[in-house]
Structure 1
Amino acid sequence: MKRGHDLSGVMKFATSPAWGEHLGEALGDHLGLAMEEFDFEADELADIVGDHWAGVLWGCAFEDLLTRTIEPGDRNIVDDYIRRRGWNESGPTKIYLRALRSSVMSLHEVSEVEPGSGFLVRDLIQGSEPLRVSERSASQTLKQWDRIGARVVQVGGKHLLSGGVLSFTMEAAEAIVADLRRSKGKRSPQTALNLDADDLAALPALISTAWLFDVVPRTMGPASIPTLHNSDGEEVMFHRVRFPFARGVTQALVGERLDTLPALQRETTHFWNWLGEKPNGKAKSTGRMAWVVTMADGTPVLGNVELKGCALMLAVTSAERAKRGTALINDALAGLVGSPLTTIETVEQAMAARAEGLTSSAPAPAIARDCQDFRVRPGG
């Protein structure tokens, strides 16, 4: 919190039975939407945004509580604290607490920074005239046109920043103001928003939430993809094995040979499912993420075989299946196909390719005439 004003007493008071529930509600208002959206718990916040920003966010919620009027009885924690514990507080601290009680959190633009002295802040939401803030420490780090979510507190004729100061990117700050304008039907930047008391009371939680929605996705990074296993317990790694036809071999000839394999079930003129053995009873859970494809009766599908142009394509989900499938095809099509070529793709690569549209369906290549369904005639 703010240097020069010891708020440890009121912080402890905020966790007492009389106010602990209300502090929890304030924290929920500031953190709850982001926790739900990005699936994290309050005790994980520091790991995500760092200890400093986790403390700042707690401070924003705490300062919000200091301004709230609690029903029934129009109770306020600052009034209650000063009445009960004020005898043990310094005069400057009580003055500062009362200033916080009547303060409003908003989004500000920083300008005319004088390091070690202060700077100007302009309220981007309420549109008031710039104020000169006396602030030694923050003036050392803030730069011209920085955007901050903060409370400007007037104490002894000077304007100060409270302890809860959130730094915003320009884009995130503009998005907050634009959303507020849309919600109020104010399209022109020159038109005042004219926020009422309820709107102003909602700003602190809105600003904290907007900060989290901007920062958390960047700090958490892309979601990690769990290791997947197929029905044989093998780690999923997509393998595509291409068997080129030998000279003069047709799809019809290869298809006839494939139909002799009990493990292959023809689905179309050019496509077969490679089937495993149907398990007896209900499969036991392994506790691992599974990538399992089955027929309607529960028979596992080990892979697919497809005829494309002058080649046979075997698609499977593991290195082990690629080895078994290659042996199966080589034995069945001896003399009809050449040496296979294998391409491998991880789950992450497959997902990235799909996101970029690289795996979208495309027309199958035209079948070369010498691979069409004609028999090769001896001496022909």
Structure 2
Amino acid sequence: MLDKSFRARDLVRGGEPVLISERSATRTLKQWDRFAGRVVQVEQRTQISGAVLPYEYETSENLIEGLRSIGNLSRKEKKELAKTLGEDFDAALIANLSETERLRAASSTFTTCWLIDAIDRAEQPETPDLRNTDGDEVLQCTISYPLADGTADGDVRAALDSCADLRPATATRWNWVRREKRAAASAARARPSKSLTIETTRDDGTLVLGGVKLDGRTLVLSVNSLERSERGIELLSTILGERVGQPLVVTETVEQILASRDTDAPRPVDLSEEEQRAIVHDYLDRHYRDTLDQPVPSLGNKSPRAAVKTKSGRAKVADWLKMMENRTAKSDGAMASYSFDWMWTELGIAELRR
């Protein structure tokens, strides 16, 4: 995208991208954004005539699929479609037109679909579906164990140090880690295609399932899902036995965490923009390198490396990468400048990045 122009592709009819001369949109559009607009030829220049309607990826896919399938609808389905979009929409007539004529006749539906989606999003703001690497819905769980009478701190530390699933971080803190590699079926379980994955790893790449700390006479386990809390309680109960009392479990949803966040709280560490960017980009590098070998729901639960072995799979992986690039570019802060160049190259599909 340039200051005065950008390249765009017709997603309904296909073809090569065309250079569009435009000024205002170049300041707002991000790479792989999807929009509806009227494109016209003015002398030697291709321009946008009228407003540009930005589309969310899922909404645009539904609209494109609907336009392509009009000719295959039953009479009842055509009537239902006409009823939904308005009396002026004649689905039966449109089904018999050429693709270009069909687009011209159905032009009002672009505005209708965009408006319906915009209203729905305004009335019901979408909360990201956050999942951990096991596919569990994120729920912050804090489990507090009182030390039993007569139990010495040293006995608890020794018991925790002896557990292979717990890695000491300090004298009073431990990381609960997964020693074995997670199975593909487990990694993909219950993880919707629209979900965002929360992952924490140690410097050596070991996956962290939770944290354990000894706070005075209380042992605290912190995990990010109800399922992990149950497994963690079982683990600690087995290790410590009668050294601790009955646990107290407190849960907090993502919405509750966001609502209780103190926006005026001082930053614990004052980092420069360059340092923040380096930390975020390093994390994303490690996260996406792991993702390349993990099942992705939108790729038919195949890993990106496995999917690119077929022609159809390569096209799906390209669409998947474009969607991730687009969402990242729209994010705030250091994440927005992250480059996916290396993923296109490593997967061998750089020629599809157009």
**What is the TM-score when the length of structure 2 is the normalising length?**
0.39
Whose Rg is larger? 1
Q: Counting helix residues as a fraction of each chain, which structure ranks higher?
A: 2
**What is the TM-score when the length of structure 1 is the normalising length?**
0.37
